[in-house]
């Protein structure tokens, strides 16, 4: 559960929702270059121009939804603590306290928060993944580590033996990424930074490399589908030494 009103990539303030919507400034991130349209992140409607989207946002269409919306039941709340109280009483979810801390951190750090794409927006969780095969192709394994970047605590980790045989190392990398993305979704992460030591996978997810392998395309498509579940997400290449924890999980899973 999180505040759906903040999905619009614009300016967020802690005021009432009507005030919030009137001060939203449409940024270039709302432009979809594939459709050549401007998108409202609150209702997914598309508009021919930035001005049309701005008028839609300022019209009050979304004012009644409340700043914070429970994803479980759709109830809207004007204050963060009201959403947290509702979640504890109605749904009792373990992630409630984490999300409350995320929202509190957002509001306390600055009076106005600019929500942009993953390259400049502040992420709330870090996912590191890895995968490998011995020999290549051969027996595969993958691993991931998900960390809450606000508290610094580890949220989840796992090493997974891949049943498919033979498995290539690139396939194993994708299995690790998909498993990690699913873990982030389970923990209701909204803004995610993804790091991996596979140059191929990272650059394919960023759109820099084409996906030509028929073995990788289904895994790539699954990862891209999961990618759309996040408010913002970014992919970054790191060294294997930096990715040592996910690497160890993947290695142990191969030997299991």
User: Degrees (nearest 5) of the Cα angle 37, 121, 32?
Assistant: 10
pLDDT of 120 above 60:
no
- Tell me, what's the pLDDT at 97? 60
Q: In angstroms, rounded to a whole number, what is the distance separating the alpha carbons of residues 6 and 9? A: 7
Asked if 17 contacts 6 with a C-beta cutoff of 8 angstroms, the reply is no
Confidence of residue 1 (pLDDT cuts 50, 70, 90): very low
CA dihedral sign of residues 77, 31, 55, 24:
positive
pTM beyond 0.75: no
Query: Which residues touch 97 (CB under 8 Å, ≥6 apart)?
Result: 84
The rounded mean pLDDT for the chain is 76
Q: What percent of the chain has pLDDT over 70?
A: 60
Tokens representing 150 are 């606000």
pLDDT of 200 above 80:
yes
Average pLDDT over residues 123-141: 94
H-helix or E-strand spanning residue 68: strand 68-69
Average pLDDT over residues 67-75: 60
Instruction: Identify the top-confidence range among 40-44, 120-124, 229-233.
Output: 229-233
Q: In angstroms, rounded to a whole number, what is the distance separating the alpha carbons of residues 109 and 79? A: 17
Instruction: Identify the top-confidence range among 53-57, 62-66, 109-113, 213-217.
Output: 213-217
Confidence of residue 113 (pLDDT cuts 50, 70, 90): very low
pLDDT of 15 above 60:
no
Confidence of residue 249 (pLDDT cuts 50, 70, 90): very high
Q: In angstroms, rounded to a whole number, what is the distance separating the alpha carbons of residues 153 and 98? A: 10
pLDDT of 83 above 80:
no
pLDDT of 50 above 90:
no
Q: What percent of the chain has pLDDT over 90?
A: 48
Give the pLDDT confidence of 207-222 residue by residue, as tens digits. Answer: 999 999 999 999 999 9
Lowest mean pLDDT among 36-45, 109-118, 177-186, 244-253: 109-118
Confidence of residue 24 (pLDDT cuts 50, 70, 90): low
Confidence of residue 71 (pLDDT cuts 50, 70, 90): low
């Amino acid at each position: 559960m999180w505040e759906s009103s903040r999905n619009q990539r614009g300016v967020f303030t802690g005021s009432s929702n009507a005030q919030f919507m009137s001060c939203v400034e449409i940024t270039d991130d709302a432009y979809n270059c594939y459709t050549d349209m401007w998108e409202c992140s609150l209702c997914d409607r598309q508009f021919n121009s930035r001005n049309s989207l701005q008028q839609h946002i300022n019209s009050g269409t979304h004012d009644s939804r409340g700043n914070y919306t429970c994803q479980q039941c759709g109830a809207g709340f004007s204050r963060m603590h009201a959403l947290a109280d509702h979640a504890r009483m109605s749904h009792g979810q373990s992630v409630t306290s984490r999300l409350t801390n995320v929202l509190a951190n957002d509001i306390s750090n600055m009076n106005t928060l600019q929500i942009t794409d993953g390259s400049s927006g502040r992420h709330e969780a870090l996912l590191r993944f890895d995968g490998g095969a011995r020999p290549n192709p051969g027996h595969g394994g993958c691993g991931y580590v998900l960390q809450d970047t606000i508290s610094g605590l580890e949220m989840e980790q796992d090493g997974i033996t891949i049943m498919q045989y033979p498995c290539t190392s690139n396939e194993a990398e994708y299995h690790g990424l998909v498993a990690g993305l699913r873990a982030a979704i389970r923990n209701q992460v909204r803004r995610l930074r993804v790091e991996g030591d596979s140059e191929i996978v990272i650059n394919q997810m960023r759109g820099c490399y084409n996906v030509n392998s028929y073995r990788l395309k289904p895994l790539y498509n699954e990862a891209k589908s999961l990618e759309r579940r996040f408010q913002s997400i970014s992919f970054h290449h790191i060294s294997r030494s930096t990715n040592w924890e996910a690497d160890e999980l993947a290695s142990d899973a191969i030997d299991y």
